Amino acid sequence: MNPPIGFVDIPGLECFYAASKDGKIFSYKGSNHRGKIIAPYTNKKWNYVYIRFHINKKTKVCLLHRVIAKIFIPNPFGKKEVNHINGDKSDNRSVNLEWVTPSENIKHSYKIGTHKTSKLQIETARRLGMSGVGGMATMKKIYCLDGNKKILFKSARYAHEKMGVSHQNISNCLRGITKTAGGFVWRYA
């Protein structure tokens, strides 16, 4: 059986499945032996669309956008990730996909506003005296007590550069882990 018009056999799954540029998957198995378009499913945590391939009583699960990109998008530079150009992870048309490096993928997510800040990034920003949400961090002002004199800094990192005191030690003092850092008492302004 030949795939329907607009569908191309999926390499390694020929005679079982075919894909189209509009992000659909065709299974040669189906009612009345005519085959059918199979429904993908969405991972609720990450919102990516997956497809299940069933061959010889084994199931193979793949990201739909990667399947479509491998077939329809040239990758002359061997880039490892597939980016959704419009940021919509459910839009798996080949015109919405491109091969990118991990760095390009992250930069694109910031550019279009889809980047999600991880708990690790939030904790790191907090330790460096920064606050904010969604990667838009702002620095917290701090000061050090030198006798009766307060010296104000725009961040722990800036204080480190100006005073030569480790920013980690300043952060520890700000969080109450140590009483002083570099012979100074440090507080948030």
Q: Is the pTM of this model over 0.75?
A: no
pLDDT for residue 133? 47
101-145, pLDDT tens digit by residue? 998 998 888 888 777 766 776 676 666 655 554 444 456 788 888
Give the residue carrying structure tokens 């497809």: 51
pLDDT for residue 22? 96
